[in-house]
Amino acid sequence: MIGNLDPKGFEQFVARIHSLLEGEGALLTWNASLPDPDSPKNPRQIDILVEWDGRKTHIECRYRKAPQGSNWIEAVSYTHLRAHETDSYL
């Protein structure tokens, strides 16, 4: 099943898993956008945003044959830290 998904389908698959894990108390948004901390007029795209109890979790999905490089991971992690989100999953 998972082998036949395109990147958008993979993001939606991961969102569905998180919606089941988080339960009814969480608000889950696929393909969300949030203001950039340095440039609020330019929104940042988030694959999956989970909000509950005043907390936010960003989930970035990658569905590729090769592992994602450490430069990309560090850049995304830094962006999420600057946005003061409580959790990020890559």
**pLDDT, position 86:** 57
Q: 57-73, pLDDT tens digit by residue?
A: 888 887 777 777 788 77
pTM of the model: 0.71
The DSSP bridge partners found for residue 39 are none
Return the closest-CA partner of residue 14 out of 56, 58, 65, 48: 48
Segment 16-72, tens digit of pLDDT: 888 888 878 889 999 998 887 778 888 888 889 888 888 888 888 877 777 777 887
For residue 23 the two structure tokens come to 């339960």
Task: Tell me what pLDDT residue 22 has.
Answer: 83
